Amino acid sequence: MSSWFKKFEIVSLSLSIFFLFWLFIIIFIDVILRAMRIEFFWGSESGGILMGWLIFFSLPIVCYQRKHITTDFLIRLLPLKLKLIITLIGHILMFLYLIIILWVCIELTQKNFYSDLRSQGILRIPLYIVQTGISIGIIAMCISQLVVIVEEYLQFKSLNINREKTR
Protein backbone atom coordinates (compact mmCIF):
# COMPACT_ATOMS: atom_id res chain seq x y z
CA MET A 1 0.00 0.00 0.00
CA SER A 2 1.39 3.37 -0.96
CA SER A 3 1.89 6.19 1.52
CA TRP A 4 -0.76 8.44 -0.06
CA PHE A 5 -3.37 5.72 0.33
CA LYS A 6 -2.34 5.12 3.93
CA LYS A 7 -2.96 8.85 4.57
CA PHE A 8 -6.27 8.58 2.70
CA GLU A 9 -7.24 5.64 4.90
CA ILE A 10 -6.28 7.57 8.06
CA VAL A 11 -8.39 10.58 6.98
CA SER A 12 -11.37 8.35 6.20
CA LEU A 13 -11.03 6.54 9.53
CA SER A 14 -10.60 9.84 11.41
CA LEU A 15 -13.76 11.27 9.85
CA SER A 16 -15.65 8.10 10.73
CA ILE A 17 -14.46 8.33 14.33
CA PHE A 18 -15.38 12.03 14.42
CA PHE A 19 -18.93 11.31 13.19
CA LEU A 20 -19.26 8.38 15.60
CA PHE A 21 -18.14 10.57 18.51
CA TRP A 22 -20.70 13.26 17.70
CA LEU A 23 -23.40 10.67 17.08
CA PHE A 24 -22.73 9.24 20.54
CA ILE A 25 -22.79 12.70 22.16
CA ILE A 26 -26.03 13.73 20.45
CA ILE A 27 -27.80 10.47 21.27
CA PHE A 28 -26.54 10.63 24.86
CA ILE A 29 -27.85 14.19 25.23
CA ASP A 30 -31.13 13.15 23.61
CA VAL A 31 -31.59 10.27 26.08
CA ILE A 32 -30.82 12.48 29.09
CA LEU A 33 -33.13 15.27 27.94
CA ARG A 34 -35.95 12.83 27.12
CA ALA A 35 -35.71 11.48 30.67
CA MET A 36 -36.17 15.07 31.88
CA ARG A 37 -39.05 15.53 29.41
CA ILE A 38 -37.19 18.20 27.44
CA GLU A 39 -37.49 18.16 23.67
CA PHE A 40 -34.17 17.97 21.81
CA PHE A 41 -34.82 18.30 18.11
CA TRP A 42 -31.23 17.66 17.06
CA GLY A 43 -31.38 14.13 18.42
CA SER A 44 -33.13 12.20 15.69
CA GLU A 45 -32.54 14.37 12.64
CA SER A 46 -28.83 15.06 13.06
CA GLY A 47 -28.34 11.54 14.39
CA GLY A 48 -29.64 10.14 11.11
CA ILE A 49 -27.37 12.42 9.09
CA LEU A 50 -24.33 11.53 11.17
CA MET A 51 -25.15 7.82 10.87
CA GLY A 52 -25.28 8.11 7.09
CA TRP A 53 -22.00 9.99 6.93
CA LEU A 54 -20.42 7.53 9.36
CA ILE A 55 -21.36 4.64 7.11
CA PHE A 56 -20.25 6.28 3.86
CA PHE A 57 -16.90 7.41 5.29
CA SER A 58 -16.08 4.03 6.79
CA LEU A 59 -17.08 1.97 3.74
CA PRO A 60 -13.85 2.74 1.82
CA ILE A 61 -11.82 1.16 4.62
CA VAL A 62 -14.14 -1.83 4.86
CA CYS A 63 -14.00 -2.36 1.09
CA TYR A 64 -10.23 -1.99 0.90
CA GLN A 65 -9.58 -4.37 3.79
CA ARG A 66 -12.27 -6.71 2.43
CA LYS A 67 -13.97 -6.88 5.82
CA HIS A 68 -17.49 -6.83 4.40
CA ILE A 69 -19.72 -9.85 4.11
CA THR A 70 -18.92 -11.93 1.05
CA THR A 71 -20.13 -15.18 -0.41
CA ASP A 72 -16.90 -16.60 -1.72
CA PHE A 73 -17.43 -20.31 -1.00
CA LEU A 74 -17.70 -21.10 -4.73
CA ILE A 75 -14.74 -18.92 -5.68
CA ARG A 76 -12.53 -20.68 -3.12
CA LEU A 77 -13.11 -23.95 -4.93
CA LEU A 78 -11.70 -22.59 -8.21
CA PRO A 79 -8.07 -22.72 -9.34
CA LEU A 80 -6.01 -19.70 -8.26
CA LYS A 81 -5.76 -18.08 -11.69
CA LEU A 82 -9.51 -18.33 -12.36
CA LYS A 83 -10.22 -17.14 -8.81
CA LEU A 84 -8.09 -14.02 -9.39
CA ILE A 85 -9.74 -13.31 -12.76
CA ILE A 86 -13.27 -13.59 -11.32
CA THR A 87 -12.33 -11.48 -8.31
CA LEU A 88 -10.80 -8.80 -10.53
CA ILE A 89 -13.89 -8.72 -12.75
CA GLY A 90 -16.07 -8.41 -9.64
CA HIS A 91 -14.04 -5.44 -8.41
CA ILE A 92 -14.25 -3.76 -11.81
CA LEU A 93 -18.04 -4.25 -11.87
CA MET A 94 -18.25 -2.83 -8.36
CA PHE A 95 -16.26 0.22 -9.45
CA LEU A 96 -18.58 0.79 -12.41
CA TYR A 97 -21.58 0.44 -10.09
CA LEU A 98 -20.08 3.03 -7.73
CA ILE A 99 -19.53 5.43 -10.64
CA ILE A 100 -23.21 5.14 -11.61
CA ILE A 101 -24.32 5.72 -8.01
CA LEU A 102 -21.95 8.69 -7.76
CA TRP A 103 -23.33 10.18 -10.96
CA VAL A 104 -26.91 9.91 -9.71
CA CYS A 105 -25.99 11.26 -6.28
CA ILE A 106 -24.15 14.27 -7.71
CA GLU A 107 -27.06 15.08 -10.03
CA LEU A 108 -29.49 14.83 -7.14
CA THR A 109 -27.25 16.99 -4.96
CA GLN A 110 -27.05 19.67 -7.67
CA LYS A 111 -30.82 19.68 -8.17
CA ASN A 112 -31.41 20.01 -4.44
CA PHE A 113 -28.79 22.76 -4.18
CA TYR A 114 -30.43 24.87 -6.89
CA SER A 115 -33.97 24.22 -5.66
CA ASP A 116 -32.95 24.67 -1.99
CA LEU A 117 -34.95 21.59 -1.01
CA ARG A 118 -34.95 21.09 2.75
CA SER A 119 -35.44 18.12 5.01
CA GLN A 120 -38.89 17.48 6.37
CA GLY A 121 -37.68 17.49 9.96
CA ILE A 122 -38.04 20.40 12.28
CA LEU A 123 -34.48 21.60 11.62
CA ARG A 124 -35.16 22.01 7.87
CA ILE A 125 -31.56 21.16 6.95
CA PRO A 126 -30.82 21.66 3.24
CA LEU A 127 -30.70 18.23 1.62
CA TYR A 128 -27.67 19.09 -0.48
CA ILE A 129 -25.59 19.25 2.71
CA VAL A 130 -26.52 15.69 3.58
CA GLN A 131 -26.06 14.50 0.00
CA THR A 132 -22.68 16.24 -0.36
CA GLY A 133 -21.34 14.15 2.52
CA ILE A 134 -22.69 11.02 0.89
CA SER A 135 -21.17 11.99 -2.48
CA ILE A 136 -17.78 12.54 -0.85
CA GLY A 137 -18.07 9.13 0.80
CA ILE A 138 -18.86 7.49 -2.55
CA ILE A 139 -15.87 9.26 -4.14
CA ALA A 140 -13.72 7.82 -1.35
CA MET A 141 -15.19 4.38 -2.08
CA CYS A 142 -14.31 4.79 -5.77
CA ILE A 143 -10.72 5.62 -4.85
CA SER A 144 -10.56 2.65 -2.52
CA GLN A 145 -12.02 0.37 -5.17
CA LEU A 146 -9.46 1.57 -7.74
CA VAL A 147 -6.65 0.72 -5.34
CA VAL A 148 -8.17 -2.75 -4.82
CA ILE A 149 -8.37 -3.25 -8.61
CA VAL A 150 -4.73 -2.26 -9.07
CA GLU A 151 -3.60 -4.57 -6.24
CA GLU A 152 -5.65 -7.47 -7.61
CA TYR A 153 -4.25 -6.88 -11.09
CA LEU A 154 -0.68 -6.78 -9.78
CA GLN A 155 -1.30 -10.01 -7.88
CA PHE A 156 -2.67 -11.64 -11.05
CA LYS A 157 0.25 -10.30 -13.09
CA SER A 158 2.81 -11.59 -10.57
CA LEU A 159 1.14 -15.01 -10.69
CA ASN A 160 1.58 -15.10 -14.48
CA ILE A 161 5.22 -13.96 -14.22
CA ASN A 162 5.99 -16.61 -11.57
CA ARG A 163 4.41 -19.34 -13.72
CA GLU A 164 6.45 -18.31 -16.74
CA LYS A 165 9.68 -18.39 -14.70
CA THR A 166 8.98 -21.92 -13.50
CA ARG A 167 8.51 -23.25 -17.04
Per-residue pLDDT tens over the stretch 61-103: 888 887 777 777 788 888 888 888 888 999 999 999 999 999 9
Q: Which of 42, 61, 74, 44 is nearest to 1 (CA)?
A: 61
Does 2 score more than 90 pLDDT?
A: no
CB neighbours of 39 closer than 8 A, spacing ≥ 6? 33
Does 165 score more than 70 pLDDT?
A: no
Q: How many Å apart are CA 19 and CA 53, to the nearest integer? A: 7
Does 53 score more than 60 pLDDT?
A: yes
> Given this model, what pLDDT does residue 20 score?
94
What CA dihedral angle connects 129, 132, 136 and 142, to 10 degrees?
A: 150
* 2: helix, strand or coil: coil
The H or E element that residue 145 is part of is helix 127-166
Q: How many Å apart are CA 151 and CA 71, to the nearest integer? A: 20
> Given this model, what pLDDT does residue 69 score?
76
Does 136 score more than 70 pLDDT?
A: yes
Cβ–Cβ < 8 Å for 94, 84: no
Does 121 score more than 80 pLDDT?
A: no
Least confident of 29-33, 50-54, 55-59, 163-167: 163-167
- State the burial class of residue 115 (Cβ atoms within 10 Å of its Cβ: 0-12, 13-18, 19+): exposed
Percent of the chain with pLDDT over 70: 95
